[in-house]
Every structure is written in structure tokens, then in C-alpha cells.
Amino acid sequence: MANSMVDDMRRVREENPFESMMERFDRAAQKLDLNPDLYAVMRVPNRELKVYIPVRMDSGRMEVFEGFRVQHNFARGPAKGGIRYSPDVNIDEVRALAAWMTWKCAVVNVPFGGGKGGVICDPSQMSLGELERLTRRYAAELIDFIGPEKDVPAPDMNTNEQTMAWIMDTFSMHARHTVNAVVTGKPVELGGSRGRREATGRGILFVINEAIKRFKMTPPNTRVAVQGSGNVGGIGARLLHDAGYKVVAISDIFGGIYNPAGIDIPAALAHLQATRSFEEFPGVERVSNQELLELDCDVLAPCATENQITSENSNRIKCRILAEGANGPTTAGADEILHENGVFVIPDILANAGGVTVSYFEWVQNRMGYYWREDVVNERLQDIMVASFNDVAKYAETHAVDTRTAAYMLAIDRVAYDTRMRGIYA
């Protein structure tokens, strides 16, 4: 019984996203021999907000929801990060995601710090009107803390372009003029950037393109398994398929499909959209989401949710390249095992940074009132993702560390430099 309790406690600790982030931060800070004063400042968020959001439901009753916004760091610019709606939102998750955003923005060298928001709710059980009232009141509670120069929210889990439009409008009504740079991920017609919706998946394609060169592989002979089929996994799988990769597996929340000869991804995604399931898609084997992770493949792209690869299953991961499309899909407890097994990891703070990079482009376009063609957006995204991949790879080689530690070291080094140059106002 005692051993079982210890194992359960260890598992809870390993799967706590904030604990995983801090373990990686501490490892990188130690490698950098980070100044103790800078360490003390950078390891904690700048600000954490907790708000209570009264919403009049369609039934007429009042319900109060709990929401958060964590602003982790402002050394390099305004906080930047998404807002998620989920019954599972908690402060540790939001705190970890805000810190990840700081490191992610620094890895791709865009002038933002990290932020993240969340509301504890179940959007699947709420009407459009209830979601609008929730969003507007949440935005109103944050109004003194967000803005183009302060904190720029974006969509995340269970939020979308419509959510951002409501936040933009609420903020603009209080400002008495249109402020479209207050959020990114908006509809193009309201100042959103072309290419934003595909940006995270496209960024994954660009870093995988760079990674396979290290193994002298080409797209046609590279087998890719993708966990997830939403805005990251689905778009990423389609772009990989269009680029000539052999996508052998893809999944949704209920499970996945597998064909070692490759799957017609556009057809599979069309089937998913029509039936809301991969069930009955012809010519494939059914696999669970956990089985998909352990398939024999060259590239594994977990693009669904956190804590998918842990110390318990990491020894069964057979891929050569792990491209983390989701935030925190691998726990800190799995890092050393993957490294010892020779898995080349493209960490989340690099692999899925395409979204925040094009969010930065959107913010820039809003502020100058001039909008770019989609091919220009994609070209500039490719430039940044390729340069960032090479920066991380070079850092790993120079410091003789794995790529995840290298990405954290690079990010922390950049944030520490700016913090040191600005000085600490105390």
C-alpha cells in the first residue's frame, strides 16, 4: 500500500505541468550558471490574476465561473498567450503554460513575454449566447491588465476567432475606439493575419523538414504518426501529406487509424468532418491514442494534449524524431529516457512556435495598418522557424546537451540578457 501511494504521488508530480516546466528551467539555469538574482526573478510569474465571472445563463439563473490570467514575464515585451476554456483548467496548468510562452517567444526571438489565461467551464454544455456573455465579462475583468502594450491574448483550447472578436469588441467599447491589436487569432476581416490558422501546423512541417536532413531522410521515405486532428494535428498532418510525407497514423479524442503504407489524409479529415469520427474509414487499422504513440515510425508528432509521453511509456517510443505539436506532451521524467534511447526531440517551445510567430506578425500588421499576402506570411514564418531550429541545434552541439535543454538554455539566456540590461527595479 505504501509503495502504491508513493508511486501515485510521483505520477501526480510528474504530470503536473508546472513541476515539469520548473524541472527543465532549473536544469537549464544550472547549465548556464545563471546569476542567483536573475534566477530568483525569472523562476516566478510577474503577475497572477484570479477572477470570478458572473454569467446569466439561458435558463435565467446566475452562474459564477472561475477564471485566471497569468503574466509570466515582460522583459522582452508584452505578455502573449492563449485563453482556454475547459472543466480541467487549473492555476498550475495556466502558470506552466504562461512560462512556456515566455521561453517559446524567446526561442523564436519575437519581442513578447509569456502569458496564459483560462476559465473553468464546459463549452460543450453552453450556448453561443452564454459563451459570449462569459467571454465579455471575463474580458471586462481583465481590461486593466491587457492591451497591445501590456498583454495580447489569443485562442487556445475551446476558444477561436469568434472568442477573440468578442474580446476585441469588449476592449474597444471601453476604449471608445477600435483596438484590433489587443488580441490575435481574429477573423481576417477584423484584422487577423492570413495564414494564422495554419501557422502552428505549418511551423511543425518546417522544423520536421530541417530535422530529417540530419538523418539524411526525404519526405517520401519518412513515416509520420500524428496524435490529434484539430487545428494543430489535422492541419499539420495535411501539410505533411501535401509535402510528400507518408502519414501512417492520425487520431482524434476517441482513438486513431493506422496504415503502414500511408493514409490519404485529406480523405480521412473529410470523413472526420462529415461523421465526427474516424470510425468506418476504409483501409486502416484501429489504434488507441496510447498505441499510436508506440507505433514504429520515423517521426512522431503528439499534437493533442499534455502528459502523453511519461516515464512509464517512454521506453516504448520507437520514433527517431519526436516533434511536439502540443504544449507539454512529454513529461520531464521522460526526457532522460528518450535522450538515452537516441530520440531526437524537437521540443514544444520550438516545434509549435509557428502559432505565436504568426500572432506576432498579426500584431505588427495591426499596429502599422498594413496587411501582408499569405505567401509573404508563410515565407517569413519559414525563415524564423528554420533559423530557430538551427539556433537550438547549434546550442545543443556547443554545450553538449539534448535539444530540449538547449532550447531552454537559449530562451533563458535571451530573457536573462534583457533582464540584466534593463536592470531589476526594486
279: left (phi over 0), alpha (psi -120 to 50) or beta: beta
Residues 302 and 331 sit within 8 Å (Cβ to Cβ): no
Residue whose grid cell is 508563410: 378
C-alpha span between 225 and 425 (Å, rounded): 48
Residues 160 and 89 sit within 8 Å (Cβ to Cβ): no
Among residues 347, 329, 361, the alpha carbon closest in space to that of 197 is found at 361
User: Residue-wise over 371-407: b if at least 16 C-beta within 10 A, else e?
Assistant: bbeeeebbebbbebbeebbebbbebbeeeebbbbbbb
Element (H, E) at 271: helix 265-275
* Secondary structure of residue 412 in the 3-state scheme: helix
Of these residues, 104, 116, 186, 246, which one is catalytic?
116
What burial class does residue 40 get, using C-beta atoms within 10 Å of its C-beta: 0-12 exposed, 13-18 middle, 19+ buried? exposed
Active site annotation includes 116:
yes
- 340-345 long-range contacts (CB < 8 A, ≥24 apart) are 341/314, 341/315, 341/317, 343/317, 343/319, 344/211, 344/214, 344/215, 344/320, 344/403, 345/321, 345/402, 345/403, 345/404
Q: Would you list the DSSP string of 352-388?
A: TTHHHHHHHHHHHHHHHT----HHHHHHHHHHHHHHH
Q: Using the 8-state DSSP alphabet, how is residue 207 labeled?
A: H
- CA Rg value for the chain: 21
Residues 81 and 146 sit within 8 Å (Cβ to Cβ): no
Three cell numbers written together for 411:
530562451
Element (H, E) at 258: strand 255-258
C-alpha span between 346 and 356 (Å, rounded): 17
C-alpha span between 374 and 187 (Å, rounded): 14
Residues 241 and 269 sit within 8 Å (Cβ to Cβ): no
Please list the active-site residues: 116
